[in-house]
A and B are shown apart, each in its own frame.
Chain A
Amino acid sequence: MTLKVCNFQRLSLEEKKLVLEWRNYPLVSINMVNQKVISWEEHCKFIENLTDDKTREYLLLYKKDVPVAVFYVVDIIEYTSAEWGFYLRPEYIGSGLGVEVEFYALNYLFSKYKLEKLNAVIRKSNYENLNLQKTFRFERYKEDENFDYLTMTRDSWSKNTKDFKQFRRELLRRISNERS
């Protein structure tokens, strides 16, 4: 299994187009905090503004040389906290790939930024993602009408194995325990 990332600032023109297509796909945009359709101009401006911005990082994730997902981290305070999210290539939604993407992303983010905690904001209507975060052991610390606000500490994440296959087995045990 090979996963690699490409920072948004290094995206080719084709990759930029691809990412915008995914971001505006209805099944993706409906679950974003900002649900509005993004124009090409806005997209390019957004990527341009990421230059020299140490508080945000956007990455395109490849699996076996196929671009499969975007994950991002904002409000980065190194050694302290950040907020993250991801979206899959639309045809891979519900493929089971989200588990692998999240495992890779959390390892990357906790390791790179030495975070004490990582937050996530998930729409209440996004049941599948909320269920995924619960199984990963994110905990809700706040909620409002539309969103659940989740957090995970470095200690909690560091208890997990760094091997994805083993982690997948651990998830299976957690799911079985929760359902029984």
Chain B
Amino acid sequence: MSAVEKILQFVNEIREEKSLDRVESINPDTNLRDDLALQSLDLASLTVMIEDEFEVDVFEDGLVFTVGEIIQKIER
């Protein structure tokens, strides 16, 4: 499973817990808040999930707003 697919899986886990519809696809330009409706606490959850999977804290040295920015940090 690619990093994007894994992030999509995490996003959908969070969205399902919030009773939101699943998202079928994401791309580097997908905005975490505006396009995926993730709020502050959801982003904290997503950060933990990504850290467990990729051993990268995407918020460690700054902020991320898009899927592409997460991918960059994972691949750095």
Which residues of A are interface residues toward B (Cβ below 8 A)? Answer: 1, 64, 92, 94-100, 128, 131-132, 135, 165, 168-169, 171-172, 175-176, 179-180
Contacts and interface: CB of A to CB of B under 8 A. Distances in A.
Contacts of A96: 40, 42-44, 46-47, 59, 63
A168 B61 contact: no
Contacts of A98: 40
Contacts, number: 59
B45 A172 contact: yes
B59 A100 contact: yes
Given A64-B62, A97-B63, A172-B48, A132 B41 contact: yes
B45 A175 contact: yes
Interface residues on B, range: 20 to 34
A97 B61 CA distance: 12
B65 A95 contact: yes
Contacts of A1: 59-61
B63 A175 contact: no
A165 B44 CA distance: 10
10 contacts: A94-B40, A95-B33, A95-B63, A96-B43, A96-B46, A96-B47, A96-B63, A97-B63, A100-B59, A176-B17
